[in-house]
Structure 1
Amino acid sequence: MPFADERFDAVVVDYRASWPDEFAALADQLRAVVGRLAPTIDHVGSTSVPGLAAKGCIDVQLRVASLDELVDPLTAAGYRLRPEVWNRVEVSTGVESRKLVFAPAVGARTCNVHVRLAGGANARYALLFRDYLRADEAARAGWGAFKQRLAASLPRLTDYGQIKAPATAVLMTGAERWAAQTGWSPS
């Protein structure tokens, strides 16, 4: 659930060329906060895919050796730990993995900071989602159109998310097939 200062509606917009630079600025800020505790910072989610429509919320993935070490430095920097169960545990390709998700400080650029274990199934899943949609134009166009229609018909963020989650699993079936055919592996 969004915090009180965040949007409660799902608004999907056309891709914006500024998103990679906005991610880079967030990554620099996060590096200054977490240092070597998060050796890898990835731009993931829909805003990381050129040409893909998205909600405009930058998704950042911190790949770490230990999830809990980042709670104190991130909260001290104003990031807010999301309390929901689905922001603590996720299932990716049948594997349950822990994670933490942080919202930005009040008034900061909209983002979600996903903290996942390096080498975890959920970290791989986020990278595969991004790389598959970057590589497959038809899947990218179809996914973007689906999200825009979904947001237009279900504008409440919670409703949008409940429909999008199982649809993402269908999309990822194609992504797994693509990964096997191309020999893709996470960077």
Structure 2
Amino acid sequence: MENRTIIVVPYTTAWAETFERLAGIYRAQLGELVTGIEHVGSTSVPGLAAKPIIDIDIIIQGPAGLPSVVAVLERLGYTWRGDLGIPGREAFGRNADTSPLDGNGTSWPAHNLYVCVEGCTSLKNHLQLRNYLRQHPDAARQYGTLKQELAAKYPNDIDSYVEGKTAFITAILAHTGMEADDLKNITAQNKATK
């Protein structure tokens, strides 16, 4: 992974506003190729401190729909990066700050874009965690504190930062009813590679 300093900042409503603007572009361009577009990750939880990078899941019905979606996203200025070891979730990198290309030359805030197959573990993980944290502000505050502590401890080590959050995340996911095998896979996927 890239070596960037990890910064966790207080929540801002600008994240939700930016998501809505981005989602509008994706909806207009992808139309019926997708079944949903979700704002996920910490920036989607009001009041939660987060890295200022918006996470977006574009949902497709099945793997057969992926090639058409890839073609549209490439026209919008993204590069398909594969599943990066997370089955059912395809990652897309931005070619420039102006991706997605909206015809106006808009420079967009940082965001991570994923295409997820309906019902895949990664999507369930994102939605169940987001929904739980939205409904439990105390847990969201605890998570924000943990993220700030990890960012201070591992300012240039994203893998250790991610691994440090995993037990907190999987405890919430277990509470929401996620299967034990899925939790084990999430833990393995979030292990720091040294």
What does 1:1-187 align with in structure 2 at a 5 Å threshold? Answer: 1-2=1-2, 8-65=4-61, 66-83=65-82, 85-86=84-85, 89=86, 97-107=87-97, 108-156=108-156, 157-176=158-177
Give SS of 1:85's match: coil
Query: What are the ranges of 5 or more consecutive residues in structure 2 without an aligned counterpart?
Result: 98-107, 179-194
Shift in Å, 1:83: 5.0
Distance change >3 Å, CA 127–CA 81, structure 1 → 2: same
**Letter aligned with residue 68 of structure 2:** E
Contact conserved, 2:37 with 2:58, CA < 8 A, in 1?
yes
- TM-score (normalizing by structure 2): 0.76
Distance change >3 Å, CA 112–CA 17, structure 1 → 2: same
Contact conserved, 1:80 with 1:102, CA < 8 A, in 2?
yes
Contact conserved, 1:12 with 1:147, CA < 8 A, in 2?
yes
**Letter aligned with residue 81 of structure 1:** W
Tell me, in whole angstroms, the C-alpha distance in 2 between the residues paired with 1:129 and 1:67: 25
* Cα deviations by residue, 1:42-74 (Å, 9 ceiling, x for unpaired): 111111100001101111111102333311211
Between 122-131 and 145-154, report the one with greater CA deviation.
122-131
Give SS of 1:67's match: helix
* Cα deviations by residue, 1:125-156 (Å, 9 ceiling, x for unpaired): 21111110000122111111000110011012
Shift in Å, 1:9: 2.0
Calculate the aligned-residue CA RMSD, in Å.
Answer: 2.0
- TM-score (normalizing by structure 1): 0.78
Query: What are the ranges of 5 or more consecutive residues in structure 1 without an aligned counterpart?
Result: 90-96, 178-187
* Cα deviations by residue, 1:82-109 (Å, 9 ceiling, x for unpaired): 35733xx2xxxxxxx3210113331132
Tell me, in whole angstroms, the C-alpha distance in 2 between the residues paired with 1:69 and 1:166: 36
**Letter aligned with residue 177 of structure 2:** E
Contact conserved, 1:62 with 1:115, CA < 8 A, in 2?
yes
Question: Paired residues, what number?
Answer: 164
* Cα deviations by residue, 1:145-183 (Å, 9 ceiling, x for unpaired): 000110011012233123223442233223338xxxxxx
Contact conserved, 2:83 with 2:90, CA < 8 A, in 1?
no
**Letter aligned with residue 10 of structure 1:** I
**Letter aligned with residue 111 of structure 2:** C
**Letter aligned with residue 129 of structure 2:** F
Give SS of 1:82's match: strand
Tell me, in whole angstroms, the C-alpha distance in 2 between the residues paired with 1:55 and 1:129: 16
